[in-house]
Amino acid sequence: MNRLIKFLILVLLFGSTSRNINAQDYNDIVIDNDIQLIHLKDSVYIHETWHYLRNFGRFPSNGLIVIKNGQALMIDTPMDNDKTERLTKYIQDSMSVDLKKLIIGHFHDDCMGGLEYLQGIGVESVANSMTIEKCIELELPIPSKSFTDSLTFDFNGKQIECRYLGAGHSFDNIIVWIASEKILFGGCLIKSIQSKGLGNLTDAVVNDWDTTIEKVMQKYPGIGIVVPGHGHYGNTELLTHTIKLIEKENCK
């Protein structure tokens, strides 16, 4: 199926509620049937990976890749070591970029399922101190560097801000802000426009969730792009949509 036909199908299926479809989409990279890179702007890509769960079926998960000066920063891994290795080797072999650092959004597999592989090749990993405590409790691989409320660092000229603003999808979920690109990676704290519910609530703190998102909106009034943990990226509409889903859940 050629690119134009795919474009028209996406417009018909999702209309104005889907992620913005523009010329940048022609820079998307299909690595294999399970992994693709979606170009956002400059050298920032969503890594979208597809997974299968017996009771749920096939579904996608999002993370970010930030590339600068021949080095890459990954935000969240794919759900397992195999896909993380395939993604990392593509970045290294086909893009001539070395992966240097990983930021982990929370303790679930869709954030750190590939941590074991990345530790094996010497990639530094950063996580909320509460995430690290949970990893110790569950006997999961332990991220190498922790922070409490926030961590801001320079990645080859790009300022990266990791911040914990409260519980939501999980007690430990953080957001990542890339100021120069006005990109907010919300992870599973934020739901896509296509989401009809809050999804997996096993570790959720629903009573705090809307307050946490309101804090995000107050802290970052200049957000341009919002990337959720699953589904299409968008703008601040995703934040208000998530609040509406929380209100719906609280009314049950």
30-50 confidence digits (pLDDT tens):
999 999 999 999 899 999 999
230 in catalytic set? yes
**Residue that has been written with the tokens 């969240």 in this structure:** 76
Q: Is residue 151 part of a domain?
A: yes
Is the pLDDT reported for residue 245 higher than 50?
yes
Q: Which residue would you say has higher pLDDT here, 11 or 101?
A: 101
Q: List the domain range (segments joined by +) for residue 187.
A: 17-250
% of the chain at pLDDT higher than 90:
86
Q: Model-level pTM?
A: 0.89
39 in catalytic set? no
Q: Is residue 11 part of a domain?
A: no
Mean pLDDT for the stretch of residues 219-238: 98
Domain CATH for 131? 3.60.15.10
Q: Is residue 229 part of a domain?
A: yes
241 in catalytic set? no
169 in catalytic set? yes
Question: Given pLDDT bands bounded at 50, 70 and 90, which one contains residue 12?
Answer: very low
Q: Is residue 196 part of a domain?
A: yes
Q: How far is CA 80 from CA 65, 203, 244, in A?
A: 17, 20, 32
Q: What is the pLDDT of residue 137?
A: 98
Question: Given pLDDT bands bounded at 50, 70 and 90, which one contains residue 205?
Answer: very high
Q: Is 248 helix (H, G, I), strand (E, B) or coil?
A: helix
Strand partners, 147: 128
- Which of 106, 134, 158, 232 does the annotation list as catalytic? 106
Q: Is residue 65 part of a domain?
A: yes
What is the pLDDT of the chain when averaged over all its residues?
90
Q: Is residue 2 part of a domain?
A: no
Q: Are 213 and 205 in contact (CB under 8 A)?
A: no
Domain total in the chain: 1
- Which of 47, 62, 76, 110 does the annotation list as catalytic? 110
Residue-wise pLDDT for 114-153, tens only, equals 999 999 999 999 999 999 999 999 999 999 999 999 999 9
Q: Which residue would you say has higher pLDDT here, 25 or 73?
A: 73
- Which of 47, 51, 158, 230 does the annotation list as catalytic? 230
Give the burial class of 249: count Cβ atoms within 10 A of its Cβ; 0-12 exposed, 13-18 middle, 19 or more buried. middle
Q: How far is CA 101 from CA 51, 68, 112, 202, in A?
A: 23, 12, 13, 29
Q: How far is CA 132 from CA 108, 113, 138, 144, in A?
A: 12, 14, 10, 9
235 in catalytic set? no
Is the pLDDT reported for residue 252 higher than 90?
no
Q: What is the pLDDT of residue 4?
A: 33
Sign of CA dihedral 232, 40, 118, 177: negative
232 in catalytic set? no
- Which of 169, 173, 232, 241 does the annotation list as catalytic? 169
Q: Is residue 90 part of a domain?
A: yes
